[in-house]
Structure 1
């Protein structure tokens, strides 16, 4: 494995080609010219390794590809215009009518729609399982199973799968494995080293880190990545712009520092929440009370700033009140940027749909960014005070 500092600061950066500039230029071009027809013919015959048209490859993207592949310990990488594109396009390449997928239950919402609504149009079926129990993977395998899909941890209730054990099972059965590693990034988890074939990430999150770019990345063997590129990727055109690639390069420079800052702040905030009288439960893989704490410690090198908690009085109105009263923690989707965010499940349902007996409905997801943790605790404390006074008679 290459040294992390070398990957982030030097790999792929041939500064002699651009005036020894410290930061690589943005090759903001759609097209590339050639000195001869023979050169052009060569590029057209192997666009995966040549710059012909920026819907395929581009020098700015190539620098980023090399870094992201090396971070994952993969042979190659492919960049996409969103995280869900980095999941959807590869499946369209690798699967065909009659194939079967095993997927963990409660994945990212658009991934769930991909499996439940989109892929069945092409005759591809999915069995959703509780991935916390390894035996469920063995039981779900069919003769037509071609892919096992993991998301460990997932991004709301943080269920974890035994990655190496699942990868070993898949290899014995000749099944491809794929994981969404957005939660951990290669800084905190290395699925390829555990035997996973393909690793997808929403680069919008920690890799970008500044909440100003939407992108996805897929890493794996050169053979699989090239197959995806030469087929559905080039046909569907989900490429990112050179400017977006440059923003991701900028984000990579500080990725370890930002992740560690978020991790350390989250530990302090969760310790506070664990002892707060208004909080019923805090759900975070590195929280000692987490059901899969030992597995998290075994296969994760650290834990990001995304967690969920449940209030003791989890009525629809009081969840909404608490979130609305936060002054400095913003209400928004996504995570992984510099800013702290909150997103309750009730944001996606109505009061009439809310079921107090459904634990998933009670979840409040929070992301801890780069602010001082005491600043965030103070904001939550004042929101809790207003929450506790809700419905109390006035003096």
Structure 2
């Protein structure tokens, strides 16, 4: 496939912070993708919450299955727009590496407990994972990913006017042009994340009986897809109706992004990736009608799923677990395992907060639950 003029090109990559010989078999973005897949942080995503905690059922999405679905959607859009699909896939697979256990509930708990030390941000944590915390290679810390992958990882939601914490510190030694948009490939990965969220959360919510097919009949896009399935096939088992509906929702959202993005690119006519970075607005987007539909779908999921009483009970416990862990370790760094304690130093200092942040963010749901029991239950051996 011939890449579009505005696509990122592997041969003109800005390279890696630590220079490495090129591979004779793989391009730089293929190597980035492979390093992400083989990382410890990526494997841990299998046991990190999406919405439902891991033990609640084998069929619900985890951070790992979500990342794989994002990658599939992102590659499809990238190919349709003649973008570099290896870079797009690497970004899609890496975008959740910094998430703590228990999803957004865990992030809220950590952010609250560490508020005096900058809180917690999963995007900044993803950057720490790939630049510091993965300790696999002899020549460098992290994964030593290309500049383009790092840029897309931190800027996929748009320019960053006032970076803080680790992002600001890293940018000082390896500037990522934070004031500009990211590449079109990174923008695709960001929208693929939204598409995957909406489609699989509708699927999981229906499967978990948090809402029913009748509840989604009036939703834009979703209701039309459900009506189409019923017209074409008549009565079906609910599982097939659900699947046929969700696959049509996915198709509608993907096609809309491709069509709207083609229109924007034709109007702006960027002749390089730098033109994309300095464009007045994102070049990858939903149409206004689908953007509004997505807001309505998100609002529905927020009220019917993310704030359902059954989910609320789990998220409340998850927030307390992560906040309690962070507070316990921050106030008494001697409780940290041997490989973490010396790095933390004295309690209630910046080094301790950074260590606690890294330690807890790297936990799976199961490990966090077990660690909480070890620290709070006298009947459990530490």
Scaled by the length of structure 1, what TM-score is found?
0.26
Scaled by the length of structure 2, what TM-score is found?
0.27
Q: Which has the higher contact order (CA 8 A, sep 6+)?
A: 2
Which one has a larger percent strand, Structure 1 or Structure 2?
1
